[in-house]
Amino acid sequence: MGESKQLRVGIVGASGYGGVQLVRLLSEHPHADITYLGGNSSAGREYVEIYPHLAVPLTVETVSVDVIVNRCDVVFLSLPNGLACELAPQLLERGCKVLDLSADYRFASLEIYQTWYGSDRSDAGTNQQAVYGLPELFGEGLAETRLVGCPGCYPTASLLAIAPLLKQGLAQPDSLIIDAKSGTSGGGRQAKEHLLLAEADNSLAAYGVTKHRHTPEIEQICSRLAGREVMVQFTPHLVPMVRGILSTVYANLRDPGLVREDLHTIYSTFYRRSPWITVLPTGVYPQTKWAWGTNRCYLGIEVDARTGRVIVMSAIDNLMKGQAGQAVQCFNLMHGLDQQMGLPKQSFYP
């Protein structure tokens, strides 16, 4: 792709939290020209009316495949689950590339998707084209695909912590326990009682215990990495902060003689070509605030010689590396661009 090439980009679901992150990032991306913003409840409104802090001179339009394919080369679908699978086949057939931020194209098996998400699908052929959009693990496939299923925020944080353990055969796959905590923006922009300030503030609560929809997504990729079927114990929690995820992973080591310096060397080598992964010095543990506003993932590693377990802590911004930032990273790789292009490298702090 030439240095001056501009790609016409559309964002469907532009008024949600994922959508506004995409608008912010792509409006400053040197190879992206936002030519279409789509939505339903926000259709007909000027974008600056919805988000006055973003000087984007566009109006949100009713979602129309005909309009999108005439104006866009690439489309980001930031929609609730079950909607992208209706739009993506039409968009792909008519020449658009698609990045889906929902769960619709994250699963190789539609049977698993339908079991956990409860909707029938008739797009098996389209689903087979999708590449799971976690660049640090599957970046090679992104350059060739026209359809990306962008991972969920919890799976992104958890899988980046887990991948070296399974890929290198360091941990017992069936011993994986994931304790993860997320800010309230992970619940989206629509009004929900449990996300109200009076409900969420000064409180910490688990939810979706044993049945959270990100569980099969994590298990699918763990199974690919381990070369065998893997089950994990995953428990998410809601933390009274706006953005960020801290995922703490526990696993039994195959070799109880490994120390944290060994694991640090292995992780640093595993992610040596991954500019968005920061493996912290031994004894330093990540904080979510360090990742705010960036596409970065911070990893901290500890080994408990007493129990024979490794503990890996992973911190990301759920709206960035866990959603829109990672989608832009995939967009870059799809078009032969530097994967860091258009993405902030420094957090806003404090």
Which residues are marked as active site?
A: 153
**Angle between the N-to-C axes of helices 135-142 and 153-167, in degrees from 0 to 180, rounded to the nearest 10:** 90
Enumerate helices (H) and strands (E) in the chain, giving the number of each.
Answer: 12, 13
Q: Please state, in angstroms and rounded to a whole number, the distance separating the CA atoms of residues 313 and 304.
A: 14
Interior angle at CA 85, CA 98 and CA 67, nearest 5: 55
Contact yes or no for 227/167 (Cβ under 8 A): no
Torsion from C-alpha of 229, 123, 147, 62, nearest 10 degrees: -130
Distances (CA, A) of 85 to 142, 160, 268, 321: 19, 27, 37, 23
Contact yes or no for 284/300 (Cβ under 8 A): yes
- Backbone CA torsion sign across 194, 299, 102, 54: positive
Interior angle at CA 315, CA 310 and CA 320, nearest 5: 145
Distances (CA, A) of 191 to 12, 95, 101, 194, 317: 20, 36, 20, 9, 21
**Residue found by looking up tokens 């279409």 in the block:** 36
- 282's tokens: 């031994």
Contacts of 49 (CB under 8 A, 6+ apart): none
3-state secondary structure 101-125: CCCCCCCCCHHHHHHHHCCCCCCHH
**Residue found by looking up tokens 């006055």 in the block:** 52
Pairing outcome for strands 32-38 and 7-12:
parallel
